[in-house]
């Protein structure tokens, strides 16, 4: 691996998020009866554990929105940065948009390091920094752990709408 590939893997955005992550520390649920979902995920490779909590509320138009996303657990810089970036990205956006973002991120992880199109990159924002992870199959699971927890937590919050969920488990385990 060249220094370039290492730099692609550990982009400054990733190192910064890993060091000072967003959404770290589970937020206690509000008192307005919002729907709360929590997911516990284990990275079987290293035993790292992640608990992610979402709070879903309806906005003025009746749309389900992720009111808060928070998490705790230990992990490598890739997994910490990934859950940090996703927490920042999906807080206060509609659940359906968050699920679409998750699909886009999973697509990025399957791309073997090739950047996605511009629209996808715009949507992913800081999460495009994980493009280089796709070149390291052993680390894809690290980057996906948070997104797997998000998808599960949304289901546990009792939200049934959103985009169709594709079966991507085998890719995640690659």
Q: How many residues bind other proteins (CB under 8 A)?
A: 22
Q: Which of 52, 69, 85, 142 binds other proteins (CB under 8 A)?
A: 142
Binders of other proteins in range 9-28 (CB under 8 A): 9-10, 15, 19
Q: Give yes or no for a contact between 37 and 54, defined as CB atoms under 8 angstroms apart.
A: yes
* Residue 81 touches other proteins, criterion: CB under 8 A: no
> Which of 140, 141, 61, 56 is closest to 99 using CA atoms?
56
C-alpha to C-alpha distance for 12 and 128, rounded to whole angstroms:
12
C-alpha to C-alpha distance for 50 and 63, rounded to whole angstroms:
28
> Which of 159, 120, 152 is closest to 41 using CA atoms?
152
* Residue 47 touches other proteins, criterion: CB under 8 A: yes
Q: Which of 48, 64, 99, 126 binds other proteins (CB under 8 A)?
A: 48
Would you tell me which residues interact with other proteins (CB under 8 A)?
Answer: 1-3, 5-6, 9-10, 15, 19, 45-49, 74-78, 136, 139, 142
């Amino acid at each position: 691996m060249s220094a370039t590939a290492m730099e692609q893997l550990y982009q400054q955005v990733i190192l910064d998020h890993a060091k000072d992550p967003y959404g770290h520390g589970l937020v206690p649920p509000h008192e307005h009866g919002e729907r709360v979902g929590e997911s516990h995920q284990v990275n079987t490779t290293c035993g790292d554990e992640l608990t992610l909590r979402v709070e879903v509320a309806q906005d003025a138009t009746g749309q389900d929105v992720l009111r808060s996303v928070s998490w705790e657990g230990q992990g490598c810089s890739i997994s910490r940065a990934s859950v940090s970036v996703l927490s920042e990205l999906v807080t206060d956006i509609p659940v359906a948009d968050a699920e679409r973002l998750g699909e886009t991120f999973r697509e990025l992880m399957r791309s073997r390091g090739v950047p996605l199109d511009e629209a996808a990159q715009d949507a992913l924002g800081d999460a495009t920094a994980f493009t280089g992870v796709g070149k390291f199959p052993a680390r894809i699971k690290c980057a996906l752990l948070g997104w797997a927890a998000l998808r599960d937590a949304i289901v546990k919050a009792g939200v049934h709408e959103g985009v169709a969920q594709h079966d991507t488990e085998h890719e995640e385990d690659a």
